[in-house]
Structure 1
Amino acid sequence: MKYTKEFISHFSHPQHKLKFEYTETPFKCDGCKEAGIGSKYTCKICDYDLHMHCAIPTSPSIFHPFYRKCSFEFLARPPGTKARYCNACRKDVTGFVYHCHSCGYDLHPCCAKLPTMLDDGEMKLFLYRKVRSTCHKCGRKGRRSWSYRSECKKYNLHVACVKEMLVETWHEIYFGGRLNSYGLRNGIPSLKGTLMQNQHRRSKTKVRKCCEIGALALQFVISAVLGDPTTLIVGVVGSLMSK
């Protein structure tokens, strides 16, 4: 997402203006309460961060191609008193949310803005609401959450699984591991074990190639899930393969 201002005022943090910043260090968004990376608006005084999607919603309400009859309104908090979950990733909604009053569906701001296609010129990944293919992380089929699947249909990743991987390694990303030359810690989630168990058992060369492609796919999906699909996390593939 392109930003238009270096500083903005935001209703969720009236004490100070927020400044645009780009970071390759993961952060927790104080708006939607989800993980982020790349472009953000931040208050250094209060250690307050917002995804671009949370800081500058494109409009008060949006439509999504997966739910053509729904109109999603941007809300500062989940409606009602019952626990709610995101219909994209199946994770709890605890902060900013896009909500459809008619259908009752909810989407995290970053989930609502997940690109329908990720393309770096060599690999294309397409977003699906329902995929029957096996997820390379959990090894399960079915409708667990939205999924990214490669154009060749060999690589599939649940959005929910990618989020779980990030949560599982959150402490490691912040406090464990050694910072590499890119400022990234070694605690980035790995698909290596899963891929080796499920793909090309007979050939080490094919296993290596499969892992490399799978790691690249994971890199793209992590960037999208963290709120900045234009950010290809430098050094992630090397970190993945060194596990």
Structure 2
Amino acid sequence: MGVARIKHPSHSHHYLLLKYPQEPYWCNGCIGLGFGPCYECEHEDCSFYLHEECANAAPSTSHPFSKCSLKFHYNAPQEDERYCDACGEDVLGFVYQCSHKHPHDYHPRCLKLPLTVTAGDGLILQLKKKLPSKCLRCGSRKTSNRIQGWCYVSSPDRYCYHIACVKDMILEKWKKDYFTQDGNVNEANSLALQTFSPGREIALPGGRSSSKATQIWRKATTVIMVIISALFGEPSALISVLVQYWLSS
């Protein structure tokens, strides 16, 4: 865990405090959705937030998936549209780039994703640069931005999901106001969640549709939960609530 109180060049006129908000926030560094611990301006009316990874971004770093050193930028030097080569989302702020003529881009938070995560039942997921099979949510080897995108794959290679697709699942629910500011389900949308069909969100290996499929689907939901933990840290109450709806559907 990071230092409790810091100064940051992107918000140098106030101190930033390490907080544990119960509601999602927009990081003012990478301009991405955030859950869990973050640095927040000591003046609440500022509404300034930074992911821990964005607040503590080093001038340069490395990653097993990149053959060269990666340099930090507050904004991409190029003027064209940029996409993170890990999650496929827009690059709108803090970013790491390699030194190639046509550089790869990575959000600071994406570079900190664990290479291996383990579920409570011993299921092991590994972070992969390339998909060994189609993503079980989007049915493609590439993200919606036509970028390969990193993925988490179970061992054996039965469950495979883009990290972009899992992030999109959470972002879509948040944009639809399924969550209130205290991290609970918005009562106005509770019926929508209760009638939420898991089949539309989580595809099953082989497209099975029998009693066996229910067991497989529950395993897939466990995989999704583990990936959410890898993306956002310890699952906060609002994420847990969403997953419970998936499990009880």
Superposition TM-score tier, normalisation by shorter sequence: 0.7 to 0.9
Is the 1:146–1:159 Cα contact (8 Å) retained in structure 2?
yes
Give 1:202 deviation, angstroms. 4.7
Q: Distance in 2 between matches of 1:105 and 1:126?
A: 21
State the shift of 1:146 in Å. Answer: 0.8
> Scaled by the length of structure 2, what TM-score is found?
0.82
Change (3 A) 1:41 1:202: closer
Q: Which runs of 5+ in 1 are unaligned?
A: none
Q: Is the 8 A contact 2:204 2:217 kept in 1?
A: no
Matched position secondary structure for 1:50: strand
Partner residue, 1:217: 223
Identical counterparts, % of pairs: 34
The structure whose residues are more often strand, as a share, is: 1
> Over aligned residue pairs, what C-alpha RMSD do you find?
2.6
Distance of aligned partners of 1:202 and 1:171 in 2 relative to their CA distance in 1, 3 Å threshold: closer
1:162 corresponding residue in structure 2: 166
In structure 2, the CA distance between the partners of 1:168 and 1:236, relative to structure 1 (3 Å rule), is closer
Conserved 8 A contact 1:190-1:215: no
Cα displacement string for residues 178-210 of structure 1 (whole angstroms, at most 9, x for unaligned residues): 78xx83437899754354665563522x22222
Match of 2:246 among 220, 228, 240: 240
Alpha carbons 1:192, 1:241 under 8 Å: kept: no
Kindly report which structure 2 residues correspond to 1:1-243, keeping only aligned pairs within 5 A, or say none: 2-3=1-2, 5-43=3-41, 44-57=44-57, 59-68=58-67, 70-102=68-100, 104-121=103-120, 122-141=122-141, 144-172=148-176, 175-176=177-178, 183-185=183-185, 191-195=198-202, 199=206, 201-204=208-211, 206-226=212-232, 228=233, 230-231=234-235, 233-243=239-249
CA–CA distance in structure 1, aligned partners of residues 127 and 248 of structure 2: 28
CA contact (8 A) 1:39 1:51 kept: yes
Q: How many residues align?
A: 232
Separation in 1 of the partners of 2:135 and 2:215?
A: 18
Report the structure, 1 or 2, having the larger helix content. Answer: 2
The gaps in structure 2 that reach 5 residues or longer are none
SS of residue paired to 1:157: strand
Change beyond 3 A, Cα 1:141–1:14: closer
2-structure distance, mates of 1:191, 1:147: 20
Report the alpha carbon displacement of residue 28 of structure 1 after superposing the two structures with TM: 1.2
Shift of 1:90: 2.1
Shift of the 141–102 alpha-carbon distance from structure 1 to 2, 3 Å rule, reads closer
**Displacement of 1:144 after TM fit?**
3.0
Per the normalisation by structure 1, the TM-score is: 0.83
